Amino acid sequence: MIGLGNEHRGDDRAGLDVVRAVRARLGPSARTVEGPDDVTDLLALWADADRVVVIDAVRSGRAPGAVHRYVLPEETLPSRLGSTSTHGLTLADAVALGRSLGRFPHRLVVFGIEAGPVGMQDGLSDPVARAVAEVTELVLSEVHGPSSRPRGE
Amino acid sequence: MTERTIAVDYLARVEGEGALKVRVHDRKVEDVQLKIFEPPRFFEAFLRGRSYAEAPDITARICGICPVAYQMSSCHAMEQALGMTVGGPLRELRRLLYCGEWIESHALHIYLLHAPDFLGYPDAVHLAKDHPAAVKKGLELKKVGNHLMQVLGGREIHPVNVRVGGFYRCPSRNELEALRPELERALGLAEETVHFAAGLTFPEVEEDYEFVALHHEHEYAMNEGEVVSSKGLRIPVHEYEDHFEEVHMAHSNALQSVRKGGGSYLVGPLARYALNHDRLSPRAKSIAKEVGLASVERNPYRSILVRAVEVVYSVEEALRIIDAYRPPAAPFVEPPPSFHASTGASVTEAPRGMLYHRYRINSDGLIEEAKIVAPTSQNQKRIEDDLRHVVERGLDQDDATLADYCERAIRNHDPCISCATHFLTLDIERT
């Protein structure tokens, strides 16, 4: 479970807050990651994972707090999703690169939480805080989800 | 219509974002404007009043791609101001950390940002579909560089272990020895990268650059040396501002760095290679020769080859340092017990070229003034000159093709526009 974002920029911390909440519920054996800063490093993280969940704040014009969910490889990520680095490589690029290179989990679920303010401020806006709680539950149900593979390996 | 404007709103595959406008009148290139917004100015302002010790950590935030370069230049500049010398194993560890940054930065540029240009792909994702092995190689090299930075720097991005005087903690021999296997593998990958680059097709172009780089008597310069140029300049670092100045261009917020009394100049791998070729390691030298690189390369498209040779060098140098490493008695040199008003300057070689820092501190050890000149700021004018030539040669092309040529010409120099910072869109006005 990978949370992307910047905890100093308002709602951009949403992805980080979700993985922290998940880790609090599942304990230290949960495979949670905050970051990476470089989107290409996702490929290394995915390399030995069967199922991966990525959570990030997004801006797509919907109301703050709206939750997007994509299940790959069946679905396609919108190309502008999740730009975290100045290389200009987005999460969608990492997905495409991973697929081209055969470095892709069997199941990748991406949760996008529509952000409100992402300026230099502390804390989440109310709708996004509610969305973080909602997505935390969704991620936990992914963890206990379709596969019966035991957690904590 | 004899006025022609070509616009590229978003330059792809460069670090950061930027804009370009070219005006052509009656088939004559009237004006080339590279518009870049400069954030180091803000850093220079908010460094004032901070402790000298904070400079490495604060300036590292100027760039997420080359944080080590900022840490190195700031440390050396402060140490000069404080009259400190950092030698022995600490000096070697700094080179080792820099090797990590050169490896990861160059590998990323070669494979993900530059190679697509030569192989006809719009981006690395498309390149990866047809050439997965090549892209995997690049990512693996990048990972080795990042790992080295993480072991020595404590963190991949904005290392936390660097301080004025050295490091907060030095690695044990075992910790560095553990990197050996992946570095040995990286050496093979780096050599394959040189061969990969040598197999690309390059436009036949030669530019009359004034190359400027750090030069050291015994080593391929990274942290220490004199500033030298291919037109005969040879000066100690603290005289940098006597020979280079930043000029405010009316058309943009950017300050361009130029030779005083002269014009544009070029820093970066081509400059380093031309001015330090004989300081390369044996294997780097021989592989350069093997693929037909002369001791000076003036074709900007072939910079990809030179970067690849620098990756070979960096891996070899990393192995050399690791083999010779004996942990120092203390992880850092103590700063002096008291301060006085003083100034210190430094140039170190970021992956993209010379990075200049100068600080004035007061008797409390607080920064009163800071000046930072990034490599891409220094290359801006020279990149504009390259672009002028590209447009002159390509006037018969349609706007879209010409815009593409311009983007490629910019990518040759691996600009880190984040450092110079801005947004780059291309706008060619033809009248």
Question: Which CATH number does the domain housing residue A103 bear?
Answer: 3.40.50.1450
Query: Which long-range contacts does B200-207 make (Cβ < 8 Å, 24+ apart)?
Result: B200/B115, B200/B118, B200/B119, B200/B304, B201/B118, B202/B118, B202/B299, B202/B301, B202/B302, B203/B299, B203/B301, B204/B299, B205/B299, B205/B300, B205/B301, B205/B389, B206/B298, B206/B299, B207/B298, B207/B299, B207/B300, B207/B385, B207/B386, B207/B389
Q: Is residue A153 part of a domain?
A: no
* A101, closest residue in chain B (CA to CA): B132
Class of domain B3-430 as given by CATH: mainly alpha
Position A56 pLDDT exceeds 50: yes
Select the residue of A37, A40, A101 nearest B142 (Cβ to Cβ): A40
Position A81 pLDDT exceeds 70: no
The confidence band for A91, taking pLDDT boundaries of 50, 70 and 90, is confident
Contacts of residue A43 in chain B, CB cutoff 8 Å? 139
Percent of chain A with pLDDT over 70: 87
pLDDT of residue B39: 41
The confidence band for A73, taking pLDDT boundaries of 50, 70 and 90, is confident
Q: Is residue A148 part of a domain?
A: no
Q: Which of B20, B10, B56, B69 is nearest to B373 (CA)?
A: B69
Given an 8 Å threshold on Cβ–Cβ distance, is B156 in contact with A38?
yes
Mean pLDDT of A29-46: 82
Q: How far is CA B116 from the centre of its chain?
A: 20
If 0-12 CB within 10 Å is exposed, 13-18 middle and 19+ buried, where does residue B129 land? Answer: middle
What is the pLDDT of chain A when averaged over all its residues? 84
DSSP A3-40: E---TTBGGGGHHHHHHHHHHHHH-TTS--EE--SSTT
pLDDT in tens, A111-129: 999 998 887 788 899 999 9
Single pTM value for the model: 0.88
What is the identity of the amino acid at B66?
C
Q: Is residue A131 part of a domain?
A: yes
**pLDDT less than 50: residues of chain B:** 37-40, 420-426
User: How many domains, chain A?
Assistant: 1
Q: How far is B380 from chain A (nearest CA, A)?
A: 19
Q: Does A48 touch chain B (CB under 8 A)?
A: no
* A86, closest residue in chain B (CA to CA): B16
Q: How far is A41 from chain B (nearest CA, A)?
A: 8
Q: Does A80 touch chain B (CB under 8 A)?
A: no
Residue with tokens 């949760």: A111
Position A108 pLDDT exceeds 50: yes
Q: How far is A152 from chain B (nearest CA, A)?
A: 25
Position A152 pLDDT exceeds 70: no
Q: Does A43 touch chain B (CB under 8 A)?
A: yes
pLDDT of residue B349: 98
Given an 8 Å threshold on Cβ–Cβ distance, is A86 in contact with B65?
yes
Helix (H) / strand (E) containing A92: helix A91-100
ipTM confidence score: 0.74
> What does the alpha-carbon distance between residue B288 and residue B15 come to, in Å, rounded to a whole number?
27
Domain with A87, as residue range(s), is: 2-143
The confidence band for A84, taking pLDDT boundaries of 50, 70 and 90, is very low
Select the residue of B14, B15, B139 nearest A43 (Cβ to Cβ): B139
pLDDT in tens, B301-330: 999 999 999 999 999 999 999 999 999 999
Distances (CA, A) of B342 to B109, B226, B237, B370: 38, 21, 16, 12
> What does the alpha-carbon distance between residue B411 and residue B398 come to, in Å, rounded to a whole number?
20
pLDDT in tens, A17-32: 999 999 999 998 888 9
Q: Which of A2, A13, A7, A9 is nearest to A132 (CA)?
A: A13
pLDDT of residue A85: 47
DSSP B203-263: --------BEEEE-SSS--SSSSEEEETTS-EE-GGGHHHHEEEEE-TTSS-EEEEETTS-
User: Domain map of chain B by residue range?
Assistant: 3-430
C-beta of residue B68 within 8 angstroms of C-beta of residue B159: yes
Contacts of residue A85 in chain B, CB cutoff 8 Å? 64
